[in-house]
Amino acid sequence: MTEVSPIWYPFTQHGLNEAVPRIVSASGAWLTCADGTRLLDCIASWWVITHGHCEPRIAAAVAAQASVLDQIIFAGYSHPQADAVAQALVDIAPEGLSRVFFSDSGSTAVEVGLKMALGYWHNRGEARHRILVLEHSYHGDTIGAMSVGERGVFNAPYAPLLFDVATVPFPAAGAEQVSLDRLEALCAAPETPAAFIVEPLVLGSGGMLIYPPHVLRAMHEICARHGVLFIADEVMTGWGRTGTLFACEQAGIAPDLLCLAKGLTGGLVPLAATLATTEIFEAHRSTDRARMFFHSSSFTANPICCAAANANLAIWREEDVLGRVAALGAALDRGLAALATDPALRNPRRIGGIGAIDLEVKDAGYLSDVAPILRARALEKGLLLRPLGNTIYLMPPYCTTDDEVAAAFDTIGALIEPLARGAG
């Protein structure tokens, strides 16, 4: 196949010449390709679409804002849409998060969180630089975000430039105490850490690895006791994905820093926010200009994106979004239960609107050969699926119906059969 497009795609090996369908429109849980075929968006277009594609209220807010105020420098200027988003976020976020810093993506929300944590200690005159991370985590693809994520094939070329972190083992079932003991030891070490960054309850890119709220609560308690800042990366878990608005709610914890992106606008346009406590904000407030928070990007708090976020926040206030997530969760459970009868499938798991199961393969891991095969076959059958190595997961928009979920599982079951028999 000769490539006709000059585009260099993300997370794509161009040498394999995999098909790149052109999507020309979307509505609800469905995508329409240039050739007219339709695809069910089983992964919410990479975990961003919450309610559904082209959600009418959000789409209308974007259209209206685009002809009123498109863009304005956000250093020294503000606008009503940003004021409204910030206040609404503080109102719904865990207690104590009183300041909102806008950026554009999950990676930048994480970078901002890390910089705020380091700035906090710097401005207090304490030399704390060490960041603690959870094994198998993912926080984005910029250098700082990669540094706090799992090391591997994804970042090997950049490894010499990534900063050093200390890793807490993933709290696998039965080994939770090992993780907590390690975290305790790292917090108590002479080189007191600056912060611990975690994906609450689910490690997404790490393979939809789920751990219980009581472990999250215990990790938070250890950090609080040692004065180590707790950064919750809810870029994926936020906005109902785990069955509550934020995953932290299930553990009853309030982090010091909270990173939001993806579903903040319902997924229609990019916007991110990092929420901070008064204490972290106050450590930067001074009459000394050298202590300000030195971070921005051109489109910080873009008014059109903020208008989308306000429309999303109104939906959350006025509609039973969590009821939809619960219904979706029940449909995922039924589908997973049916699939789990296949001996080649292991470890069915579900939290909120995320369901996952692992296919037994010889080459388990992100580069498992089974992932691109499944992806291509699912595409032929009308499903947008993107397995994480040998982990097959669904994270559909909340509008996806029971019948659509059931049909997706039927299709997946049929796709897996030849692979499971080794004939794939």
Among 121, 138, 293, 316, binds ligand PLP (CB under 6 A): 138
Q: DSSP state, 16? A: G
Which residue from 251, 7, 293 is spatially nearest to 123, judged by alpha carbons?
293
With respect to ligand PLP, which residue has the nearer C-beta, 233 or 404?
233
| Least distance to ligand PLP, CB of residue 302, Å | 15
Distance CA 229, CA 279 (A): 11
| Interface segment toward ligand PLP; rule CB under 6 A; list 33-41, 76-84, 231-239, 240-248 | 231-239
Q: Where are the beta strands (DSSP E) in 104-225?
A: 131-134, 165-168, 195-198, 202-203, 209-210
With respect to ligand PLP, which residue has the nearer C-beta, 94 or 140?
140
394, β-bridge pairs: 355
Distance CA 406, CA 412 (A): 10
| Least distance to ligand PLP, CB of residue 304, Å | 17
With respect to ligand PLP, which residue has the nearer C-beta, 138 or 239?
138
Mask for 253-292, x = binds ligand PLP (CB under 6 A): --------x-------------------------------
Which residue from 145, 175, 177, 173 is spatially nearest to 161, judged by alpha carbons?
145
Distance CA 86, CA 106 (A): 17
Mask for 147-186, x = binds ligand PLP (CB under 6 A): ----------------------------------------
235 contacts ligand PLP (rule: CB under 6 A): yes
| Least distance to ligand PLP, CB of residue 382, Å | 25
User: How many positions of this chain bind ligand PLP (CB under 6 A)?
Assistant: 13
Distance CA 234, CA 139 (A): 10
- Which residues ranging from 57 to 116 are in contact with ligand PLP (CB under 6 A)? 105-107, 110
With respect to ligand PLP, which residue has the nearer C-beta, 242 or 390?
242
Among 111, 176, 233, 256, binds ligand PLP (CB under 6 A): 233
∠ CA 278-282-287, nearest 5°, is 155
218 contacts ligand PLP (rule: CB under 6 A): no
| Least distance to ligand PLP, CB of residue 332, Å | 19
| Least distance to ligand PLP, CB of residue 246, Å | 13
At residue 298, φ and ψ (nearest 5 deg) are -50, -40
| Least distance to ligand PLP, CB of residue 204, Å | 4
At 288, the amino acid letter reads D
With respect to ligand PLP, which residue has the nearer C-beta, 187 or 236?
236
136 contacts ligand PLP (rule: CB under 6 A): no
Torsion 102-251-356-359 (CA) sign: positive
Q: DSSP state, 64? A: H
Q: Where are the beta strands (DSSP E) in 244-395?
A: 257-260, 272-277, 345-351, 354-359, 383-384, 391-394
- Could you tell me which residues come within 8 angstroms of residue 184 by beta carbon, excluding any fewer than 6 positions away? 222
Size of the chain, expressed as the number of residues it contains:
424
Distance CA 149, CA 205 (A): 10
Which residue from 307, 241, 252 is spatially nearest to 106, judged by alpha carbons?
241
With respect to ligand PLP, which residue has the nearer C-beta, 104 or 404?
104
With respect to ligand PLP, which residue has the nearer C-beta, 52 or 140?
140
140 contacts ligand PLP (rule: CB under 6 A): yes
196 contacts ligand PLP (rule: CB under 6 A): no
Torsion 331-333-339-341 (CA) sign: negative
Among 31, 201, 232, 236, binds ligand PLP (CB under 6 A): 236
Residues lying near ligand PLP in the complex (CB under 6 A): 105-107, 110, 138-140, 199, 204, 233, 235-236, 261
